[in-house]
């Protein structure tokens, strides 16, 4: 049993949240929870993902507007399939939706990224996995506005930190989303929390074996692959506690991470001779 305490403040009021979180979520599978993967597409024919991808959409430019159409083109870079493969391991019964905004080599246009996030928010996907970001300052404000909209719509946005020392958006907006950095931990349930850091949560992201287009697998390292571990954990929480707000989910993750840290410290503490 985890006691979750959080304090949320906005322009109108302040709210202290205290609730009990039982351990049943650890046995959940993410059933009934929708996760949008905004990325390079997903290979829906991969054996690890068969039947788990409920919809695929791809960005299309129409007279300077970016629209999203159903698509069967799959993955153009492998990155999205790798992230979806991790989600399928952590939350095997979650409903995965692919929103393709990246092309070959994992490259894409920032405006398509914004449009993909807006599309996910409009469709109210419960969890939005962003294993991508941008360093271009012109996208700072529009991304911040979209994250506010996501929060108000009840969408929980999880973003990977930049693999380079340069900060990327939106992962640095730690007040309005859940940001993730890789660790060498191997158990997804043993995620960590870095208090006071811009990128707060840590999750497995080193030498992760996951799906790759064409039915294969690769061992991959990067913050991109830590991100879906946390998205999957959130799906487990939401299956058992579907009414949690984004704020409560974040508070729950912090409480669980603190328990993980306490258990690790206790396990490594020296024993005195009797």
Residues designated as active site? 39, 79, 224
Cα–Cα distances (Å) from 91 to 95, 114, 240, 261, in that order, read 9, 26, 12, 23
Kindly report the backbone phi and psi dihedral angles of residue 180, in degrees, each rounded to the nearest multiple of 5, phi listed first.
-135, 140
Tokens for 219, please give them.
Answer: 């061992």
Beta strands in the chain (DSSP E): 2-9, 14-21, 34-39, 53-62, 65-70, 95-100, 127-130, 156-160, 178-183, 192-193, 201-204, 208-212, 216-220
Tokens for 50, please give them.
Answer: 């068969």
Separation CA 58–CA 66 (nearest Å): 10
Please provide the distance, in angstroms rounded to a whole number, between the alpha carbons at the two ends of the chain. 32
Looking up tokens 């074996």 gives 209
Phi-psi region of 207 (alpha: psi -120 to 50; beta: other; left: phi over 0): left
Phi-psi region of 226 (alpha: psi -120 to 50; beta: other; left: phi over 0): alpha
Which helix (H) or strand (E) segment holds residue 227: the answer is helix 223-240
């Amino acid at each position: 049993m985890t006691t979750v305490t959080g304090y949320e403040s906005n322009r109108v009021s302040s709210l202290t949240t205290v609730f009990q979180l039982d351990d049943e979520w650890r046995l959940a599978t993410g059933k009934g929870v929708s996760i949008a993967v905004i990325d390079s597409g997903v290979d829906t024919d991969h054996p690890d993902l068969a039947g788990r991808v409920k919809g695929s959409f791809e960005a299309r430019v129409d007279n300077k507007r970016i629209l999203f159409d159903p698509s069967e083109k799959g993955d153009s870079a492998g990155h999205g399939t790798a992230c979806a493969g991790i989600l399928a391991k952590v939350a095997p019964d979650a409903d995965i939706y692919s929103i393709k905004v990246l092309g070959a080599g994992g490259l894409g246009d920032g405006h398509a990224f914004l449009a993909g996030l807006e599309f996910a928010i409009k469709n109210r996907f419960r969890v939005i996995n962003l294993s991508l970001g941008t360093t271009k300052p012109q996208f700072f404000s529009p991304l911040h506005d979209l994250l506010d909209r996501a929060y108000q719509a009840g969408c929980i946005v999880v973003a990977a930190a930049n693999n380079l020392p340069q900060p990327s958006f939106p992962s640095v907006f730690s007040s309005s989303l859940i940001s993730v950095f890789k660790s060498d931990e191997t158990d997804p349930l043993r995620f960590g929390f870095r208090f006071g850091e811009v990128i707060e949560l840590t999750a497995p992201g080193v030498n992760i074996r996951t799906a790759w287009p064409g039915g294969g697998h690769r061992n991959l390292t990067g913050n991109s692959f830590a991100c879906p571990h946390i998205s999957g954990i959130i799906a487990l929480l939401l299956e058992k506690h579907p009414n949690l707000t984004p704020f409560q989910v974040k508070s729950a993750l912090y409480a669980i991470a603190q328990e993980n840290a306490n258990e690790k410290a206790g396990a490594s503490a020296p024993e005195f001779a009797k």
